């Protein structure tokens, strides 16, 4: 069962990445975008909300930039979601 992990707090990065399984996805929102460095190598597909990244001066780099509509699509595509705050 694929899970969407929604990371909004960079302080929860270690707990979040420890819970990720192959086939899961991870999206960085809010201040969670500051956790981007080092997450490109996780087993999950990683996305970052474009607006949140831009507001904080963060470049999406090698991860998938997401508009709000894309984020909604990711939520709908996954069977469950977990928010890490």
Tell me the pLDDT tens digit for each residue of 19-35: 999 999 999 999 999 99
> Which of 29, 36, 14, 11 has the alpha carbon at shortest distance from 81?
29
E-strand stretches of 1-85: 3-7, 25-28, 45-49, 64-66, 80-84
What global pTM score does this model have? Answer: 0.94
How would residue 11 be classed by pLDDT, with cut points 50, 70 and 90? very high
pLDDT of residue 40: 67
> Which of 27, 75, 24, 73 has the alpha carbon at shortest distance from 50?
27
pLDDT of residue 38: 77
Tell me the pLDDT tens digit for each residue of 27-67: 999 999 999 987 867 878 999 999 999 999 999 988 999 99
């Amino acid at each position: 069962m694929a899970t969407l992990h929604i990371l909004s707090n960079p302080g929860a990065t270690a707990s979040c990445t420890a819970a990720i399984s192959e086939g899961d996805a991870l999206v960085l929102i809010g201040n969670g975008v500051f956790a981007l460095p080092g997450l490109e190598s996780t087993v999950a597909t990683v996305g970052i909300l474009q607006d949140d990244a831009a507001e904080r001066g963060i470049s999406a780099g090698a991860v998938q930039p997401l508009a709000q509509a894309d984020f909604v699509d990711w939520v709908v595509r996954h069977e469950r979601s977990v928010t890490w705050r």
